[in-house]
């Protein structure tokens, strides 16, 4: 199972960017403890050191829904701003969202079709008389590249694979950036109230209680 997760300050102020960086640290600690593989796909640094506007991660594990149930939604940090000493606000919110419907392109060399041809020089003259240039096509996406840098067909093939891999990765990055922009537009104001997790103080102490347990306890009180 793979899921793309975005931790974002929305359009929140510098304090929210600081919270985003702190939340990322806690998030990474927990996914490591839960033996979840991850890859940071994209990150946008904040306006000051040790701050972060947003980060997008690819998580990989057999089962992720239970873990993410305690993370997806709004996150609240309660504390006084270290950037604006006289600011009265004490509750700062960021969001953790899933980027759905976007699968990472799995680049495999077996999906490449190669075609060799003679390298061409200026004016269309043949540089050599053997087929050393390589045209490589990534069949699933239709992307292609041409390499004739070397007089060696093998070296040109290696260059073509490298360039094609970068080109295909660029498609995924563009799709990801669009999806992140869509998510950003949908969450211009991060949902406040009813956070899935709360933290407090400059030491970022966790004050989290599982909602299902809380609900069970409240139900018992009513009986």
Q: Is residue 60 domain-shared with residue 19, that is, in the same domain? A: yes
pLDDT grade, residue 126 (50/70/90)?
very low
Q: Which pLDDT score is estimated for 33?
A: 93
Query: Which of 222, 221, 218 minimizes the C-alpha distance to 210?
Result: 218
129 and 75 inside one domain: no
Q: Does 46 fall in a domain?
A: yes
CB atoms within 10 A of CB 120: 13
Same domain, 93 and 113: no
Q: Closest Cα to residue 112, out of 167, 172, 170, 41?
A: 167
Q: Confirm whether 188 is domain-assigned.
A: no
Q: In this prediction, what percent of the chain has a pLDDT beyond 70?
A: 77
Q: Domain with 145 in it: what CATH number?
A: 3.30.160.20
H/E segment holding residue 93? strand 91-99
91, 9: one domain:
yes
- Report d(CA 213, CA 146) in Å as an integer: 59
DSSP 122-154: GGG-BS-SS--EEEEEETTTTEEEEE-SSS-HH
Question: Count of CB atoms within 10 A of residue 10's CB?
Answer: 20
pLDDT band at 168 (very low <50, low <70, confident <90, very high): confident
Give residue 188's pLDDT.
53
Per-residue pLDDT of 192-220, as tens digits, reads 668 889 998 877 877 654 444 444 445 44
Is 48 contained in some domain? yes
- Domain coverage including residue 16: 2-99+193-221
The label of the residue with tokens 């799995």 reads 106
Q: Which residues pair with 133 in a beta bridge?
A: 117
Residue 207 half-sphere exposure, CB side, CA atoms within 13 Å? 13
Q: Are residues 33 and 61 in the same domain?
A: yes
Whether residues 73 and 46 share a domain: the answer is: yes
CATH at 11: 3.30.70.1660
Residue 29 lies in a domain: yes
User: 53 and 22: one domain?
Assistant: yes
pLDDT tens, residue by residue, 133-164: 999 999 988 899 999 988 889 999 999 999 99
198 and 91 within one domain: yes
For the chain, counts of helices (H) and of strands (E): 4, 10
Residue 160: predicted pLDDT? 93
Instruction: Please say whether the beta carbons of 56 and 43 come within 8 A.
Output: yes
- 36 and 70 fall within a common domain: yes
Residue 186 lies in a domain: no
Indicate the pLDDT class of residue 1, thresholds 50, 70 and 90: confident
The string of pLDDT tens digits covering residues 67-110 is 999 999 889 998 888 888 777 778 889 989 887 766 667 788 89
The pLDDT value given to residue 123? 44
Q: What is the domain count for the chain?
A: 2
Is residue 104 a part of any domain in this protein? no
Q: Are 92 and 115 contained in the same domain?
A: no
Could you tell me if residue 182 is inside a domain? no
pLDDT at 43: 86
Say if residue 41 is in the same domain as residue 143: no
User: Which tens digits make up the pLDDT trace of 16-44?
Assistant: 999 999 999 999 999 999 999 998 988 88
Q: Flag whether 181 is in a domain.
A: no
């Amino acid at each position: 199972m793979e899921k793309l997760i975005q931790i974002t300050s929305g359009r929140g102020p510098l304090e929210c960017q600081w919270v985003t960086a702190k939340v990322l640290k806690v998030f990474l600690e927990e996914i490591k403890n839960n033996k979840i593989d991850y890859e940071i796909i994209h990150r946008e640094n904040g306006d000051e050191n040790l701050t972060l506007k947003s980060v997008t991660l690819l998580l990989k594990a057999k089962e992720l829904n239970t873990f993410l149930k305690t993370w997806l939604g709004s996150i609240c940090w309660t504390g006084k701003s270290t950037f604006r000493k006289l600011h009265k606000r004490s509750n700062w919110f960021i969001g953790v969202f899933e980027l759905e419907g976007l699968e990472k392109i799995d680049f495999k060399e077996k999906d490449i079709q190669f075609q060799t041809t003679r390298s061409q020089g200026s004016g269309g003259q043949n540089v050599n008389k053997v087929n050393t240039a390589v045209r490589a096509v990534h069949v699933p996406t239709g992307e292609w590249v041409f390499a004739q840098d070397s007089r060696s067909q093998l070296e040109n093939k290696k260059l073509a694979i490298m360039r094609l891999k970068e080109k295909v990765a660029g498609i995924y990055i563009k799709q990801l950036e669009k999806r992140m922009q869509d998510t950003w537009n949908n969450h211009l104001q991060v949902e406040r109230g009813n956070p899935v997790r709360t933290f407090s103080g400059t030491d970022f102490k966790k004050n989290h209680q599982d909602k299902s347990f809380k609900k069970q306890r409240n139900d018992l009180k009513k009986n």
